[in-house]
Structures are given as structure tokens and as C-alpha cells.
Structure 1
Amino acid sequence: MGESWLLQLELDGALNEQGMVCDFGIVKKLTREWMDKTIDHALLVPTRMDNLKVEQAVGQTRVEWVYPDGQAFNCLSPSKAIALIDVEEITPESMAEWCRAQLIELFPQEVKGLNLRFVAEQIDGDFYHYSHGLQQHDGNCQRIAHGHRSRIEIFLNGERDQKLEHEWASRWSDIYIGTSAHRKESAEGMHTYEYRAPQGEFSLTLPAQYCYDIDTESTVEQIARHLAARIKQMKPFDEVLVRAYEGVGKGAVSQV
């Protein structure tokens, strides 16, 4: 599943002729471009993980992995949508070390050291933890297996309902939110999603128990709208407002 991490950087080195180790503008530009190109909105695969098989062809990468219960995960994507990480497990610490070793090479020679940390967004209360792909998106959100760890707020008649928040956060814990039109025939107990987007062909197969389909693209706006409509069905005489977030500090509101 996806995460929402904040990136913190510290640079160590000699001062240049401007009295700086490195201009903040350069730091932000280099780091953002590298993160966007390498790991953001990509499927991060720890290549030392057990029961993993990776196949690479021209421009395409297939990842196969077996869950402990014997069920299979299979993803075929353009290679730039999958990041192969030489670690046993994806954690903030392992990713920070892997990224640091590569980022340091991009900075000017005055930069002699780099300390990098990923910090999870602080969320007080419940959150939903999901992955998805947006076929119609022009950017990297079109990638079929990227995700988020996000806040969720539900209000009935202007009052926050934390019980409902907990119910939906539990239902959407480590879930793939798919689009019904993208789902193809697959083996019993499995769901397969396929689509073609500007970056290429995408396919994902995983156990049905980890999936939740909606009738639209799974944008945060449509997720908020879907959730508000579902709650309204259960609470027809109440005014329902849903705030669904995506990543840090951004999201959508739906009211019915």
C-alpha cells in the first residue's frame, strides 16, 4: 500500500563563493525532479523479498509475488512505473538510505554529505490506506499501483462522526480501490484490472479480498463522492459531508 511521507534533507559541505553549501533552489529542484522520476507514484519493490519474481523486457517490467497464504500478486507496467529497490523491506529508514546513496551524486562538489529522512504524516484519528491508478491522468497518477495513507473525516448534520470514520478506515485498510470498467475476467477469488494510459499498458492482478471497486475513476473527488453517497443510503434523513484526503494537505469534499 502507499504512504504519505514528508522528506527532510540536511547537507554537509564546504561553503562556495556565495557563502552557501548549496542554494536552496537547487536543492529543491534536484530533489523534486529525482523523486518524481524515480520513486514518487511508482510501485516500490524490495528485491530481497522472499517469493518474488521480476521479469524485464524492453520498456516493460513484470512483478510477481506470492502472499503467505499462497495467493498471488502480479503487476505488469511500463518500467518507469516500477522502482526496484535493493532492500528486504520498504520502510522509511531503508528508503532513506537507498535514496541518499543516489542523491548525493547529483549535488555540486561542495556537498560532502547528505542526511535524508522520510517522516510519516502525523494523523490524529483514523485514516484510509489504499492504492489505485487513474487511467485518464496525464501525469504519474495514471500508474496502476501507487497509493496513499490519508485522513478521512465524516460529518452527520454538522457533527463529526468518528464511529463512521473508524468503520470506513477499517474497511479501506490496505485496499486497492479499482474502477469497475477496468476489471477483467480472472480466476475465482482474484481481481484483474487492465487499461492503456499515455505511459503505456498497465495490468494488475491481486486477491479480491484486497479490492474495492467503484463505478468511476478513483480520484479523491470521486472517492469522497462515492463515500458520501454510500453513507447517505444508510442515513437518508441526515446531511452527510465527507472530507477525503490524498497525500499531505490536499483532498476533496462531498456533501449530500
Structure 2
Amino acid sequence: MQLFVDQLTNVDFSYLDAQRGMVGETWWASALLDGALDDQGMICDFGVVKKVLRNWLDDDVDHRLLLPVKSPNLSYTLENDRVDLSWQYADGKTLRMKAPKQAVALVDAEAINAESVAQWCREQLRAFFPVNVEQLTLSFEAEAINGASYHYSHGLKKHDGNCQRIAHGHRSRIKIFIDGQRSAEQEQLWARQWADIYLGSQEDIVSHDNGEIHYRYQAQQGEFELWMPEDHCYLMNTDTTVEFIASHLAQTIKLQFPNAEIKAQAFEGVNKGAIAIAIA
């Protein structure tokens, strides 16, 4: 007998890729449980399944930077509940981060993808279910998007939750309207410009030289530092909340179309985001 829960929750995170660098991502999580019926005629109560999976994914995957610990591109040390890591890009560039340990997930894999993360999660989750659950199958899939989208990473130092972590991200749709009409051209332009981007705040910059940007800030969970290749960054003069992202899009596009009304709808992962309008 099998029990299934489709799209029980979604996770927003970033991961490291040899070609793309730091990649913001959003996945739907679904589960399939194989097992025998208990004395209630159930494999496992749906309430238990949802609670266990959502809580674990929220705590151990969501808003973290996923590290493929078997990758030759990664080197890291753990000390005093902090992580110090370095990632080598295929083109020789380097990313480095220092942060509280809770800002990363150490995935036992050579590369991060839906299959490797699902396998790692299953190994961690098996002990949370009753003995009559013989097998747990977890699967991840990206949102089906018809149109422009981009992957971005960021950190929100003023947030009192896990958004304060300097390297987490999202895969997001984008909608741009010029005088009420969708502009696929503008949407694709920004999606290309922000492909696998790190959205950084000017006020968090410690140094910017030799093709590298060094960010640092203190947040509730501790001190965060990040060194990124400058060509993987886009700088804003505000924090990088989705509200400010939408406003930045609207105001920047407005400069190209000064006599038009611009509406920017910026998404933060799945089915949430912000809308900003620049009036003609």
C-alpha cells in the first residue's frame, strides 16, 4: 500500500554549482510512503506526514546554502558552530563564505540536483516515521513557469527569521507591464541579466576590487561574510527584499519609458511576491 502527498510544501534555498556558481532555487516537495496498514487502517496519519516533512524541510533545507560535500570544488571547515568555505568555479574564480553553521546544509553528494538532495533527505528522515512505513520516497520539482524567470540569491540582514542568512535564494517569475500591456521583451531582458545572480546591498560592501565584492553584516544569528566574483553580482542601494526588488525594476524600467506607467510584479519563489508601479 502507498500513501502520497503531492506538493506538500516548497523550499527556497541556494546551492553551489561548478558552472553556474551560486544558484537560487525553489522546489516543490512531494512524498510517497510504502508500508503496511496499522490498527487504524492507515500507513501513517496525513497530519503526521505533513508535520514531520514540513518541519524538517523548513529547519534543514529551507533558506540554507546547500553544499555538495563530495565535490572537488568545495573546501570547508567547521569550528565553534561556524562554517568557513571556499568554492572553485570551473573558470577559476572563487566564492568564499563565513557564516553560522545553520546557514548551510552539508549534502552527501558530488553535485546538487533534485535527485541527490531527495536521496540525502530520505536518509535523514527515515527515523522520524513509524516502523510500518517501509519506504519513504521524496521528490522535488521546480514550478512550471510559462514565461521569463530567473534564479537569484541574497540575504536580508534585518530579518528576524532565516531570510537573514547571506546566501539563500529563489527561482522566480517576473511580470512587467508598460501602460497595462505585458512586455515579454523586458521580462526576458531582466531574466537574462539576473540569471544566477547575487543581489547585494551597497551598504553591506566591505571592499570591491580585483573583480571581487566582499560583503559583511551582523544579524541576529551571527556574523555573515561573503566574497563573490563581481560579474555574478548586481548591486542595489537598498536592502534586497522582494518589495525593493519590484520597486527597483519599476523605477529602472521607467527611465527607458519616461512617459509610460510601469508595473513590475516580482516573485519570491512560488505564488508570492510584490508589485510596484511607477506612475507616468
TM-score by length of 2: 0.89
The aligned counterpart of 1:245 is 267
Q: SS in structure 2 opposite 1:2?
A: strand
Q: Which runs of 5+ in 1 are unaligned?
A: none
Stretch of structure 1 that moved more, 61-70 or 151-160: 61-70
The aligned counterpart of 2:188 is 166
Higher strand proportion (structure 1 or 2): 2
Report the residue type matching 1:2 in the other structure. G
Q: SS in structure 2 opposite 1:3?
A: strand
Alignment RMSD (CA, Å): 0.9
Aligned: 1:184 with 2:211 = no
| Structure 1 stretches of 4+ moved >6 Å | none
Q: SS in structure 2 opposite 1:165?
A: helix
Task: State the 1:69 CA deviation.
Answer: 2.0
Task: State the 1:112 CA deviation.
Answer: 1.2
Q: 1:222 aligns with which of 228, 231, 244?
A: 244
Distance 1:55 1:187, change over 3 A: farther
The aligned counterpart of 2:128 is 106
1:136-174 Cα offsets, whole Å, 9 max, x none, are: 111111100001110000000000000000100000001
Aligned: 1:20 with 2:20 = no
TM-score by length of 1: 0.98
The aligned counterpart of 2:276 is 254
In the alignment of these two chains, the number of paired residues is: 256
Q: Which runs of 5+ in 2 are unaligned?
A: 1-22
Aligned: 1:211 with 2:233 = yes
The aligned counterpart of 1:80 is 102
Report the residue type matching 1:3 in the other structure. E
The aligned counterpart of 2:115 is 93
Task: State the 1:12 CA deviation.
Answer: 1.2
The aligned counterpart of 1:126 is 148
Stretch of structure 1 that moved more, 160-169 or 93-102: 93-102
The whole-number CA distance in structure 2 between the counterparts of 1:238 and 1:91 is 42
Report the residue type matching 1:101 in the other structure. E
1:36-90 Cα offsets, whole Å, 9 max, x none, are: 1111110000011123211111110011012122221001110011111110110
Report the residue type matching 2:133 in the other structure. V
1:197-247 Cα offsets, whole Å, 9 max, x none, are: 111110000100000011111111110011100001111101100111011
The percent identity for this pair of structures is 48
